[in-house]
Chains A and B, each alone.
Chain A
Amino acid sequence: MRPEATSRRNRWLGGPRWIQRLLVAAAAFLVVALPGVPAWAHAQLASAVPAPDAALSTAPAAVTLTFNEQLNPEFTTIVVSDAGRQRVPASAPAVSGAAGTVRIEGALGEGAYTVAYRVVSTDGHTIQGSYGFTVGDAARPPVAAGESSGGLPVGVLIGIGAVGLGLAMVAGYLYFSGRRRQRGSA
């Protein structure tokens, strides 16, 4: 390669060489990683009444879950179960915008309850999760509250991203050091 072409390219990119490498590595990471990542914008539970882990003195008449995205009424499931994993009689979910409400039929006695939901975001991903609350003096429900999006957990995604970034940087370094050697020997 002719020297002036090289220097022109360097002027265009500007800045010290390590910045160029970082840019290339970052670009490579984006190119490699982005298309494989299923949409980031999954629906998530934004707020709930009763709130997760709430210790209530009076029984709630309804459970309302609000998500960060519009719900599709056809694909919204909300169930309330007692400590014996028996489903508490409740209405079908009434969906309004991003919120779904089930009215509990009859009064809840003292005890631990679990709210579980399975909803579908507008891009078709299923989001399900659960949390507990108690009425009266009962102990906290023994449910592992949590949310899963059906995809990889965020931690794993970040881990994959970090490994990908590392590999891309190594690749970028090898690419540029290889080119430098070529130029040197030419």
Chain B
Amino acid sequence: MTSRRHLLTGAAAAGLGAAAGAGVVAAAHGDSPARVAAAPGGQPALGTAIVAFHGARQAGVAEDPPAHAAFVAFTLPATADRRGLARMMRLLTDDAARLTRGEPALGDTDATLAPLPARLTVTFGFGPGLYRAAGLRPPVADLPAFRIDRLEQRWSGGDLLLQVCADDPLTVAHTQRMLIKDTRPFAAVRWVQQGFRRSPGIHAPDHTQRNVMGQLDGTANPRGAEIDPAVWNEDGSTTIVVRRMRAEIEKWDMLSVADKENAVGRRLDTGAPLSGTQEHDEPDFTKLDDSGLPAMPDFSHVTRARVTDPALKLLRRPYNYDGVPNAAGHPDAGLIFASFQKDIARQFVPVQQRLADKDLLNEWITPIGSAVFAVPPGCAEGGWIGEQVLG
């Protein structure tokens, strides 16, 4: 009964949103998070906030990540060809352009769910298989096998990726449903991974989020002007790596706080490196404690993952997942690791290789899914995502 009431309230709110006017937008695209305008008519500003879909670069990369995400990967049939793929991308681009500005998709069977985009973004990624189907040389290659990998087919690979993000899970659900519906004639769903971060209003937008293991996650991310040289190619394209990292929480729970901090190289409470006092202090790998041991353990995650060259940094945009516990009560939780970088082979692979070779945190995290996609440039109004590749 409660759920039905919520559903009705939601529908009513959505109707109000439509009436209040889809014109209430505060568009932002690129480096700054969407600026949220106070909407007239008592409409909550979070719900009507819009991130511009059109632009030289796709949205859903550099903005402050919204609270909810669905990563949807598809497999193309053997019969897929360039013309069919172009048709599919025209259709999906049109859907995404409408939904992200709070309008129903064409033929939207539940148009009442469209008016509250809540910073909705839809980001398209092309896997190696899509390029091959189009008769093109793939600009991205599957990752090499790492010894820590325990990859499961059901979370790995994919020819097409849709990354759907919004500050509201119902908006994500509706968008996912509409886009899958329109992709069905062209491709089969391969996997869906749904994740979450802290909700808006919980803390300041530039605050580093915590993952399900309690760690501040993303402290070393490039920010502001640091993003461009690490992420964007001149043509507005980038790449995404999506890896599903299962957290071995039952084992993690056996550790003391000091054990956990040694594994990560940071304080759990403040996120400060063990060589410093504040979250954003640069880790000092030369600092020794009184007994002569390096303050930053040389096997800690931060020590091993460190990248100093600004052009080689990764823009991490991960989401937590928390599935259904098993009968014994053990959680099915972890991280949907997502990173954007210009070049996977030059930026992502070396870091992952170092972590696979030696990282104490490996004892408590297991990669169970892995996929790579090129993220083609954005498009202008009237254009479509992928036109430079498939047009």
Contact = CB atoms under 8 A, between A and B. Distances in A.
Q: Do A and B interact? A: yes
Contact of A152 (B251, B256, B263, B357): B256
A126 B292 contact: no
9 contacts: A79-B294, A85-B290, A87-B288, A116-B293, A123-B251, A124-B254, A124-B259, A125-B255, A149-B256
Contacts of B190: none
A143 B262 contact: no
Given A38-B254, A77-B298, A85-B288, A125 B259 contact: yes
B254 A126 contact: no
B255 A114 contact: no
Contacts of A128: 291, 293
B293 A143 contact: no
Given A81-B292, A116-B293, A124-B363, A150 B254 contact: no
A124 B364 CA distance: 9
Contact of B360 (A79, A81, A124, A130): A124
Interface residues of B, number: 23
Contacts, number: 79
Interface residues of A, number: 29
B380 interface: no
B115 interface: no
Interface centre among A74, A80, A87, A152 (most CB of B within 10 A): A74
Contacts of B289: 116
B358 interface: yes
B360 A75 contact: yes
Given A125-B259, A150-B262, A118 B297 contact: yes
Contact of B291 (A114, A120, A126, A150): A114
Nearest to B357: A74
Contacts of B298: 77
Interface of A: 38-39, 74-75, 77, 79-81, 85, 87, 114, 116-118, 120, 123-126, 128-130, 143-144, 148-152
B292 A85 contact: yes
Contacts of B255: 38, 124-125, 150
A79 B295 CA distance: 13
Contact of B297 (A126, A130, A152): A126
Interface string B354-386: 000110100110000000000000000000000
Nearest to A120: B360
A150 B259 contact: yes
Contacts of A125: 255-256, 259
Given A123-B254, A152-B256, A79 B363 contact: no
A116 B291 contact: yes
A130 B288 CA distance: 13
A124 B361 CA distance: 9
Nearest to A75: B299
Interface string B285-310: 00011111110011100000000000
Contacts of A144: 290
Given A77-B298, A126-B297, A151 B256 contact: yes
Contacts of B288: 81, 85, 87
A64 B76 CA distance: 59
Given A77-B298, A124-B363, A38 B256 contact: yes
Interface of B: 251, 254-256, 258-259, 262-263, 288-294, 297-299, 357-358, 360, 363-364
Chain A to chain B: the 7 pairs with minimum beta-carbon distance, closest first: A81-B292, A130-B291, A150-B258, A116-B291, A151-B256, A126-B262, A150-B259
B251 A124 contact: yes
A18 to B, nearest CB: 36
A143 to B, nearest CB: 6
A150 B256 contact: yes
Nearest to B248: A124
Contacts of A39: 254
A100 to B, nearest CB: 13
A87 B297 CA distance: 15
Contacts of A80: 292
A118 B290 CA distance: 13
A116 B292 contact: yes
Nearest to B299: A75
A75 B297 CA distance: 9
A65 to B, nearest CB: 13
A143 B297 CA distance: 20
Given A74-B358, A118-B297, A150-B262, A79 B292 contact: yes
A150 B255 CA distance: 9
Contacts of A130: 291-293
Interface centre among B256, B259, B363, B364 (most CB of A within 10 A): B259
B258 A151 contact: yes
A79 B293 CA distance: 7
A77 B358 CA distance: 13
Interface centre among B289, B293, B297 (most CB of A within 10 A): B293
Given A125-B255, A126-B263, A151-B258, 16 more contacts: A38-B259, A74-B358, A75-B299, A75-B360, A79-B293, A81-B292, A114-B291, A114-B292, A116-B291, A116-B293, A123-B254, A124-B259, A124-B263, A124-B360, A124-B364, A150-B258
A143 B291 contact: yes
Contacts of A75: 299, 358, 360
